[in-house]
Structure 1
C-alpha cells in the first residue's frame, strides 16, 4: 500500500489543483456579469445569460461525464475536462475580437462542460486513490483548495478585468457614436488577456494529467447489473435533496452574481472594483463558515445545523431586501457565512444509505445545480421590473425550501458522515 501511495502522489497533487481551478472559474462569472452588463449595455435579466449558459453546461454534461469516468477511468475524464476548460477559456480571445456577447456565452458553456467532467471525477477519486485510511483527510485537503480558487477568481477579475470607470447610461447616450463604441470596446477586450492566460495554464494541466499515472479503473459501490439507474427515482430522500440543492445553488449563485450590482445600486458612485470588495468579503466569510461549520458539526446534528444556517440565510436575504443601503449590503455579505455548509450537508443527507445507488444519486444531485441558471434568471427578471433589492426575495424563497428540507431530515433522524461530501 505504501508503494501505491508513492505511485499516485502526483495524481493526488494534480487532482487537488482541480478543486482550485473550478472554484476560480465559478466565481469569475460573478465578475463577468458586472463587466458584460457595462460592456454590452445589458439588462439584469440579460446578464443572467452568463450563469444560464454556464450551468446548462453542467446540467447537460453531468451524466455523460459520470459515464466516461465509469467506463474509461478517472484519467480520461480529467484530461477531457481540462481540455474542454482550456478550449472554453481560449475561445474568449476570438469572442473579444468579434465583440459578440453570444460568443462569450458559448465559450462559458464549453468551460462548464469541462468542469462537469472535473467535478464528477475529482471527488470520488480523492477518496479512492492511495491509502483508504487517509481518504477523508485527502478529500478535506482537496476541498480546502476550492475557496482559495474562488477568492483568486474574484481578485483576477477585480485587478485585471474590472475598471474604475463607472458608466452612466445618460453620459453614454450623450457621447459621439465613435467615442462610445471605443469605450465599450475597451471593456470587452479587458477579458481577453486574463482568459488567454487561464486557458494556457489549464492546457498545461491537461498535458500533465495525460502524463501522470492514475488508478486504472473505478471501483463500484455495488453490482452494476442488479440496480438500474431508474431506481434513484424511487428514493424520496434523494429526490428531496436534489430539490433542496436546486434551490440552494440557485440562491448561492444568484446572490454572488448580483452582489456587485447590489452594491452599486445601494451605494451610488461605487465603482466596480470597489463593489468587488464586497464580493471578496462574501467569499472570505464563506470559507470561514466552512471551518466553523465543520467544527460545529461535531457538536450539533447536521440536519439541525443546516436548518439553523438556512434560517439565518433567509433572514439576511430578507434584510437585504428591506433595509437596502449599507445595512442591506452588510446583511447580503453576511449571508455567505451561513451558506457555507449547505451544499455539502444537503449532499450528504441525500446520499445517506444509498449503497449501490450512490454514484447515480450523486450525478442527480450534481444535475440539480441547474438551479444556478434558473434562479439567477429569475432574479434578473425581478430586478429589471422592481429593482435589485426586491430581487433578493428570490434567494430568500430558495432558503425556505432548504429550511423545509433540513427540518424534514431532522424529523426523519437522518445521520451522516460529511467527510465524503463534495465542495462547490
Structure 2
C-alpha cells in the first residue's frame, strides 16, 4: 500500500511530530509489558498464579482509576511537569516491587497508580499540532496511534515471556519500567509540541463537557469495546482447550491481531469523508455481523477466519472513539477525556473477563462468544444513537474549528 506509506510518512514529517510520537511508542511498549511482567515476577517469588493474578488485578484497577486523575492534572499543570512527577513515582514503585520492600499487592497498586498515560498525552499533542486547517489529518494520526498500540501489545508480552522462560522473571518488569521511564522522560523533553494551557475560567466551564451525552456515549462505547476484548480473550482460550488443541489459541490470536493492524493501517490511509459518527456506526455494525457467527461455528478454520474479520473492525472503532472525543470536548479537558476512554475500556475488559469465565464454565466457549457478540450489539446501538447528536456537517469539524466558524458545539 504505497499510498498508505506516503500518508504516514507525510504525517510524521510534520514539524515536531516524530519527536513526540517515537518516545511514546517506546513507552507504550513498556506499558504493554508491565502487566505480564508482574505476573512472571510475582509467580517466581511466590509460586502462586493466584497471587500473581491478584497483584496484576490490583495494578490494572489502580491504573484505570488513577488514569483520569493524571489526565486532569495534565490539563491543569501541563504535560511536562506532570510527566516528570509521574515517571519518578513510577520508577520508585517498580523499585519497591522488584526488591520486595512492601507487600506485592501494595507495590502492584502503586505501579498502576503512577503509570504515565502516554497514549492520551500523545493523542492530545496530535490534536494541538493538527488543529485548524490540518484537522482533516487527525484520523490518520489516531490510526498511527492505534498501530503503535497494536504492535506494542503483540511484541511486549511475547518479549516478557521469552525473558521469563529463560529464567529471568524479574527482567521483564525491569525492562518494562526502563522503557516507560525512558519514553516518558524523552516525551517530557519535547516542550515545543506541548499543548498550551488554558485559563482557569475556561477550564471551569470546559469540565461540563465531560457530562454531555456525546462524550458519555464514547465512554460507554469504550466500556463495551473493552467487554468485547475481555470476553474474546477467555472464549478463544476456552475454545482451543475444549477442542484438545490449546496451541491453537495462539494461532487464533495471531490471526485477529494481524488483521487488527491491517484494519487500522488501511483506515488511517483512507481519504476520510463524511461523518466520523456515521463511520463509527458502520464499523460497529460490521463488528456485530462478524461476531454473531462465532456463536455457532465450530471448525477451527471457520473460527479463525471469523476472528480475522472482527480484527478489521476493532481498530477502526478505537480510532473513531478518539476522533469523536476530540471533536466533542474543549481542549482544556482533552487529556482527561482521552484517559476516561482508556479507563472505561480497561474496566470493560476486567468485568467481561470475569463474567465470561462463568459463562464459559456453564455453557462452553460459544457462550463466551455470545457475550462478545452482545457487547458488539451494544456498541452498534450506541453508535446509531449518536447519529442524532448533531447535523452531519458538524460531525466532521473539530471543536476548535466550530468555535472559529460560529457553529454550535456538539
* TM-score between both structures, scaled by the size of structure 2: 0.72
Q: Which residue of 1 aligns with 2:7?
A: none
Counterparts of 2:202 and 2:383 in 1: how far apart (Å)? Answer: 33
Tell me, yes or no, if the aligned pair for 1:92 and 1:196 is still in contact at 8 Å.
Answer: no
Q: Which residue of 2 aligns with 1:342?
A: 317
Tell me, yes or no, if the aligned pair for 1:81 and 1:113 is still in contact at 8 Å.
Answer: no
Tell me, yes or no, if the aligned pair for 2:79 and 2:194 is still in contact at 8 Å.
Answer: yes
Counterparts of 1:50 and 1:315 in 2: how far apart (Å)? Answer: 37
**Aligned with 2:159 (options 156, 162, 174):** 156
User: Given the alignment of the two structures, is residue 371 of structure 1 paired with residue 348 of structure 2, yes or no?
Assistant: yes
Secondary structure at the aligned position of 1:214 is classed as coil
Q: Which runs of 5+ in 2 are unaligned?
A: 1-11, 401-410
CA shift at 1:90, angstroms?
Answer: 5.2
Q: CA 1:275–1:131 in 2, change beyond 3 Å: closer, same or farther? A: same
Tell me, yes or no, if the aligned pair for 1:49 and 1:377 is still in contact at 8 Å.
Answer: no
Counterparts of 2:57 and 2:321 in 1: how far apart (Å)? Answer: 22
Tell me, yes or no, if the aligned pair for 2:284 and 2:313 is still in contact at 8 Å.
Answer: yes
Q: CA 1:378–1:21 in 2, change beyond 3 Å: closer, same or farther? A: farther
Tell me, yes or no, if the aligned pair for 1:222 and 1:356 is still in contact at 8 Å.
Answer: no
User: Given the alignment of the two structures, is residue 268 of structure 1 paired with residue 271 of structure 2, yes or no?
Assistant: no
User: Given the alignment of the two structures, is residue 17 of structure 1 paired with residue 23 of structure 2, yes or no?
Assistant: yes
**Aligned with 1:416 (options 396, 400, 409):** 396
Counterparts of 1:341 and 1:198 in 2: how far apart (Å)? Answer: 28
Q: Which runs of 5+ in 1 are unaligned?
A: 164-188
Structure 1 residues 93-172: aligned runs within 5 Å: 93=98, 103=104, 109-128=109-128, 136=137, 139=141, 144-157=147-160, 159-161=162-164
Counterparts of 2:287 and 2:41 in 1: how far apart (Å)? Answer: 27
Counterparts of 1:162 and 1:381 in 2: how far apart (Å)? Answer: 30
Tell me, yes or no, if the aligned pair for 1:86 and 1:198 is still in contact at 8 Å.
Answer: no
**Alignment deviations for residues 223-262 of structure 1 (CA, whole Å, 9 cap, x no partner):** 635744652365222222221221112213442x336623
Tell me, yes or no, if the aligned pair for 1:244 and 1:405 is still in contact at 8 Å.
Answer: yes
User: Given the alignment of the two structures, is residue 57 of structure 1 paired with residue 62 of structure 2, yes or no?
Assistant: yes
Counterparts of 2:343 and 2:209 in 1: how far apart (Å)? Answer: 13
CA shift at 1:342, angstroms?
Answer: 0.7
Higher mean displacement: 126-135 or 218-227: 126-135
Structure 1 residues 303-314: aligned runs within 5 Å: 303-314=277-288
Matched residue count: 377
CA shift at 1:218, angstroms?
Answer: 4.5
Higher mean displacement: 388-397 or 323-332: 323-332
Counterparts of 1:27 and 1:70 in 2: how far apart (Å)? Answer: 27
Q: CA 1:321–1:160 in 2, change beyond 3 Å: closer, same or farther? A: farther
Q: Which residue of 2 aligns with 1:181?
A: none
Counterparts of 2:291 and 2:168 in 1: how far apart (Å)? Answer: 32
Tell me, yes or no, if the aligned pair for 2:34 and 2:172 is still in contact at 8 Å.
Answer: no
Q: CA 1:361–1:309 in 2, change beyond 3 Å: closer, same or farther? A: same
**Alignment deviations for residues 323-364 of structure 1 (CA, whole Å, 9 cap, x no partner):** 234133442343122111112213333453544665254454
Q: Which residue of 1 aligns with 2:373?
A: 396
* TM-score between both structures, scaled by the size of structure 1: 0.70
CA shift at 1:217, angstroms?
Answer: 6.8
User: Given the alignment of the two structures, is residue 322 of structure 1 paired with residue 296 of structure 2, yes or no?
Assistant: yes
Tell me, yes or no, if the aligned pair for 1:72 and 1:217 is still in contact at 8 Å.
Answer: no
**Alignment deviations for residues 18-57 of structure 1 (CA, whole Å, 9 cap, x no partner):** 2343255347757988999997466xxx998677534422
**Aligned with 2:306 (options 327, 331, 334):** 331
**Aligned with 1:192 (options 170, 182, 189):** 170
CA shift at 1:386, angstroms?
Answer: 3.1
Counterparts of 2:327 and 2:131 in 1: how far apart (Å)? Answer: 23
Q: Which residue of 1 aligns with 2:3?
A: none
Secondary structure at the aligned position of 1:395 is classed as helix
Q: CA 1:261–1:282 in 2, change beyond 3 Å: closer, same or farther? A: same
Secondary structure at the aligned position of 1:341 is classed as helix
Q: CA RMSD in A?
A: 4.4
**Aligned with 1:70 (options 58, 75, 88):** 75
Q: CA 1:265–1:24 in 2, change beyond 3 Å: closer, same or farther? A: farther
